Chain A
Amino acid sequence: MLSITDLTVSYGPVEALNGVTISVPRGEVTAVIGANGAGKSTLMRTLAGLVTPAAGQATLDGEIITRKSPEDIVRMGVALVPEGRSTIPELTVEENLRLGGLWRPKADRRTTQAEVFDLFPVLAERQRMRADTLSGGERQQLAIGRALMSNPKCLLLDEPSLGLAPLIVTQILHLVRRLADETKIAVLLVEQNAVTALRMADTGVVLNLGRIVQTGPASEIASDEKLRHAYLGY
């Protein structure tokens, strides 16, 4: 389980996150929703070790992950798929995947790669192709596949729907749901696309200007009209 406690992040005088507390149990999908500038990406980048928090901490199964390097956090079992389809276009599909588990023993890497190919068959078909020949949806699958290659206990997904067609978004989010159900990974998902995200998540967290305004079962948050009008703008 990923536990985030009182996490506060400042960029100079600006507080991007203020006392954020979230629990992400294994096998569940927690969706953090909120408008642009709510602090969603900052939350993800802090958990992955790219940003150092001013206060608070995050733990994975009791081990503190905050204030560690991204390289160590991946090894501890937290993998981030950053915003904007984070594949390396100059590398092949297979190389992008291999990269995700480069630090692991070869045999483990092979096993995980087979699992990733099961989950995303299209990646198996395109193994030898350069990542920049893939479509947007395929590239997002590759980005998630790369993160899974580290065999994480917790997967962080930053705006996986960005720039994808609605049908593809639904497909990707369904895969994420399946992943949580089948592998018991804890999934923390950040989305601007609140409707779709809440439909498949277990828990919803509404973030506004760096503070949590509401936490609850995803279905309740989705049906709370006042919340929708005030923070989600629909």
Chain B
Amino acid sequence: MTSFIDYLIGGVSNGAVIALMAIALVLIWRATRVVNFAQVGQAMFTTFVALTVQTLTGSWALALVVAMVAGAILGVIVQFLVLRPMRRADTSGAIIATFGVLIALQAAVGMIWGGDAQAYPQPFDNAGIVAFGRIWPISVYDFVVIGVTILLVIALSLLFTRTSIGLAMRASAFNPEVARLSGVRVSRVLTFGWALAGVVGAVAGVLVAPSSTVSPTTFDILLVFAFTAAVIGGLDSLVGAVALGVFAGLVISLVSGLSNSGNAPVVALVLLALSLITKPDGVFGHHKARAV
């Protein structure tokens, strides 16, 4: 029983990172009906940028901020170079194009920083916290990860509910034609959405990096988990992305702890399949049919 609880506690910060990546996917999906498979590639690229900044300056926080800025810029570049020209094609074409971007980014990182896995320095104490006479499977760094995630989720929900750009984003996602007729410059709003998703993905990348290594392909597995969480959460729902992201972290931790970490992706895909069979709109998704 103790180990069961330990695995659950240990999975929370991992789940927080999955939740962030799932949020990035949901942001793009809501606005454009495209699943951006390049999101982990963008996050991997910006994490390498962060690693460079961290190596040069020694500042973890500065590296995080630079990665966020780089994430925004890269998101805008991907949208302009790939998604805008693809707009007239159907969305499945655009989704395949994002795979192309992922492969291109992996190649670019290999050329710039090399293909070998590199260690990302540990910014905070990563040893289990000692309290009540035992070592807990959660570290100071895990609390930082969870804290940053909570802050970002709060900031995003305030952005969406309290600001003009948030209202413009929601309106553009729900009904772009009515948004345009209301005077909202929808294409600019979409670009902002890509930048925002890039920022969120970049944060996820920097947060997860110390607990793994960084190489052009290390984050691919994060895509599997984030995509699963986003789809089961309903793809449209930020709440769903957060809830299912954290849930995925717990499940992975349990499966890895009780059996073997290689089984985690299999379990994720089984859950994805079950969800698509039993609840294709997702747990938090609302049904698409609307009265006319």
A and B pair up: yes
Q: Interface on A for B, CB 8 Å cutoff?
A: 48, 50, 69-71, 74-75, 79-80, 82, 84, 86-91, 95, 98-103, 132, 146-147, 149-150
Q: Are A99 and B167 in contact (CB under 8 A)?
A: yes
Q: Are A91 and B183 in contact (CB under 8 A)?
A: no
Contacts of B168 in A (CB 8 A): 99, 102
Beyond the given A86-B178, A100-B182, could you list 12 further A-B residue pairs with CB under 8 A, ordered by the A residue number? Answer: A50-B177, A70-B181, A74-B181, A86-B177, A87-B178, A89-B290, A91-B171, A99-B182, A102-B168, A103-B183, A103-B184, A150-B183
Q: Are B181 and A86 in contact (CB under 8 A)?
A: yes
Contacts of B181 in A (CB 8 A): 48, 50, 70, 74, 79-80, 82, 86, 147
Tell me, in angstroms, the Cα distance from A19 to B177 when the chains sit together: 26
Which residue of chain A is the closest to B165 with respect to CB atoms? A102
Which residue of chain A is the closest to B161 with respect to CB atoms? A95
How many residue pairs, one in A and one in B, have C-beta atoms under 8 Å apart? 70
Tell me, in angstroms, the Cα distance from A197 to B242 when the chains sit together: 51
Nearest-neighbour CB distance to chain B for A76, whole angstroms, equals 10
| Interface residues of B, count at CB 8 A | 20
**Proximity bits, B33-61, A CB within 8 Å = 1, else 0:** 00000000000000000000000000000
Contacts of A80 in B (CB 8 A): 181
Q: Are B184 and A90 in contact (CB under 8 A)?
A: no
Minimum-distance CB pairs A-B, first 3: A74-B183, A70-B180, A103-B183
Q: Are A98 and B185 in contact (CB under 8 A)?
A: no
Beyond A99-B179, A102-B164, A102-B168, whether A71 also contacts B185 by CB under 8 A is: yes
Tell me, in angstroms, the Cα distance from A50 to B177 when the chains sit together: 9
Which residue of chain B is the closest to A86 with respect to CB atoms? B178
Nearest-neighbour CB distance to chain A for B182, whole angstroms, equals 5
Is B136 close to A, CB under 8 A?
no
Contacts of A86 in B (CB 8 A): 175, 177-178, 181
Contacts of B174 in A (CB 8 A): 88-91
Contacts of A70 in B (CB 8 A): 180-181
Nearest-neighbour CB distance to chain A for B106, whole angstroms, equals 37
Which residue of chain A is the closest to B188 with respect to CB atoms? A71
Tell me, in angstroms, the Cα distance from A103 to B182 when the chains sit together: 9
Contacts of B184 in A (CB 8 A): 71, 99, 102-103
Which residue of chain B is the closest to A72 with respect to CB atoms? B183
Nearest-neighbour CB distance to chain B for A135, whole angstroms, equals 12
Contacts of A100 in B (CB 8 A): 182-183
Tell me, in angstroms, the Cα distance from A185 to B195 when the chains sit together: 40
B170's partner among A71, A79, A90, A146 (CB-CB below 8 A) is A90
Beyond A89-B290, A99-B171, whether A82 also contacts B178 by CB under 8 A is: yes
Tell me, in angstroms, the Cα distance from A95 to B183 when the chains sit together: 14
Q: Are A71 and B178 in contact (CB under 8 A)?
A: no
